[in-house]
Structure 1
Amino acid sequence: MGLFSNRVSRESLKPGDHIYSWRAAYIYSHHGIYVGDDKVVHFTRRGREVGTGTFIDVLLISSGSSETVVTCPTCTPSNEGHGVMSSCLNCFLSGGNLYRFEYDVNPVFFIAKARGGTCTQAVADPDDMAVQRANYLLENGFGGYNVFKNNCEDFAIYCKTGLLALDRGAIGSGGQAAAYIGGPLAAILSTPLRLVTTNVCGMAASAVVMYCANRYAADIGSGMRKDVVKVSAEELTSRFSAGLLQAIEPSPSSSKAS
Structure 2
Amino acid sequence: MGLLSNRIGRESLKAGDHIYSWRAAWVYAHHGIYVGDDKVIHFTRGRGQEVGTGTVVDIILVSSTPKRSNTPCPVCTDETSDSSTETNGVVSSCLSCFLAGGALYRFEYAVNPALFLAKARGGTCTLAPSDPDDTVARRARYLLSNGFRCYNLFKSNCEDFAIYCKTGLLVAEQGVVGQSGQAISIIGGPLAAVVSTPFRLVTTNIYGMAVMAVGVYCASRYAADIGNRRDVVKMEVEDLTAGLASGRICAVENIAQLVAPEAEGPADATATATLAA
- TM-score, normalization by structure 2: 0.84
Query: SS at the partner of 2:170?
Result: strand
- 1:244 Cα deviation from its structure 2 partner: 1.3
Q: Is the 8 A contact 2:33 2:140 kept in 1?
A: yes
State the distance in 2 between where 1:50 and 1:240 align.
22
CA RMSD of aligned residues (A): 2.0
Change (3 A) 1:127 1:244: same
CA offset at residue 52 of structure 1? 4.7
Distance 1:51 1:253, change over 3 A: closer
Q: Which residue of 2 aligns with 1:18?
A: 18
Distance (whole Å) between structure 2 residues aligned to residue 25 and residue 135 of structure 1 = 31
Secondary structure of the residue aligned to 1:25 is helix
Where does the alignment leave 5 or more consecutive residues of structure 2 unmatched?
Answer: 258-277
Cα distance, 1:226 vs structure 2: 1.9
Q: For residues 162 and 185 of structure 1, do their structure 2 counterparts lie closer, same or farther at Cα, with a shift above 3 Å needed?
A: same
Output the CA distance in 2 between the equivalents of 1:80 and 1:5: 32
Distance in 1 of aligned mates of 2:62 and 2:170: 33
Percent identity between the aligned chains?
A: 61
Report the secondary structure of 2:210's partner residue: helix
How do 1:170-209 residues align onto structure 2 when only pairs under 5 Å count?
A: 170-209=176-215
The secondary structure found in structure 1 opposite 2:16 is: coil
C-alpha displacement of 1:8: 0.2
Could you list the per-position Cα deviations for residues 154-184 of structure 1 after superposition, in whole angstroms to 9, with x for gaps in the alignment?
0001111111112434310111110010000
For the pair 1:114 / 2:124, whether they are aligned, the reply is no
Determine whether 1:143 maps to 2:149. Answer: yes
Task: Please identify runs of 4+ aligned residues in structure 1 that moved more than 6 A.
Answer: none
Greater shift, 186-195 or 119-128, is seen at 186-195
Q: Distance in 1 between matches of 2:207 and 2:52?
A: 32
Range that drifts further, 73-82 or 158-167: 73-82
Instruction: Quote the residue 1:39 is aligned against.
Output: 39
Q: Does the CA-based 8 Å contact 1:101-1:119 persist in structure 2?
A: yes
Looking at structure 2, the residues matched to 251 and 188 of structure 1 have their Cα atoms a distance apart, in angstroms, of 35
- In structure 1, what is the equivalent of residue 251 of structure 2? 248
CA contact (8 A) 1:50 1:67 kept: no
Which consecutive residues of structure 1, in runs of 5 or more, have no partner in the other structure?
A: none
Tell whether 2:223 aligns with 1:217.
yes
**Aligned AA for 2:21?**
S
Letter of the 1:116 counterpart: G
Q: Aligned AA for 2:212? A: S
Per the TM alignment, residue 51 of structure 1 is displaced from its structure 2 partner at its CA by 3.1
The answer on 1:92 being equivalent to 2:92 is no
Match of 2:238 among 234, 237, 241: 234
Question: Rg: which structure is higher?
Answer: 2
Q: Normalised by the size of structure 1, how large is the TM-score?
A: 0.90
The Cα offsets for residues 137-157 of structure 1, whole Å up to 9 and x where unpaired, read as 000000100011100000001
Q: Could you tell me how far apart the structure 2 residues matched to 1:22 and 1:249 are?
A: 38
Q: Which moved more, 1:212-221 or 1:46-55?
A: 46-55
